[in-house]
Amino acid sequence: MNPGDMRGKLVRDRIPEIIRADGGDPVTYVASPAEYRSRLRDKLGEEVVEFLEADEDSALEELADVLEVVRALAVELGSDAERLERIRAAKARERGGFAERIVWTGNR
């Protein structure tokens, strides 16, 4: 696989090592910054779908995968998980969270 080839998928850093340990011979390359950002966005969608389709036993594992991609995207956007958390907390203070389970159906 070469950088111009859009097949394949972004995988966690240790996946090639794990494949080798299982006797496989993975074919990989390092994505360019632009491809990496695009593939992270694709990966976020993929992980969200996996979370939405998960049963209760695996939902937290899938949600952790979503969080891992979100953290990588924060870094790719020039920030980090801590700054992202500060932004989240500020929004929660200003607009609230979702703990009260409020559903808006419009205005009168």
pLDDT in tens, 82-95: 999 999 999 999 99
Q: Summarize pLDDT for 51-76 with one digit per residue, the tens.
A: 999 999 999 999 999 999 999 999 99
Enter the pTM of the model: 0.84
d(CA 96, CA 100): 9
In a domain, 95, yes or no: no
Q: What is the DSSP letter of 3?
A: T
Contacts with 65 (C-beta within 8 Å, 6 or more apart), sequence order: 47, 50, 51
CA dist 7 → 20, 27, 71 (Å) = 20, 12, 24
pLDDT value at 2 more than 70: no
Domain that holds residue 72: 15-81
pLDDT value at 99 more than 70: yes
In a domain, 7, yes or no: no
pLDDT of residue 6: 53
pLDDT of residue 7: 83
In a domain, 58, yes or no: yes
Question: Number of folded domains in the chain?
Answer: 1
One-character DSSP codes across 33-101? HHHHHHHHHHHHHHHHHHHHH--HHHHHHHHHHHHHHHHHHHHHTT--HHHHHHHHHHHHHHH--STT-
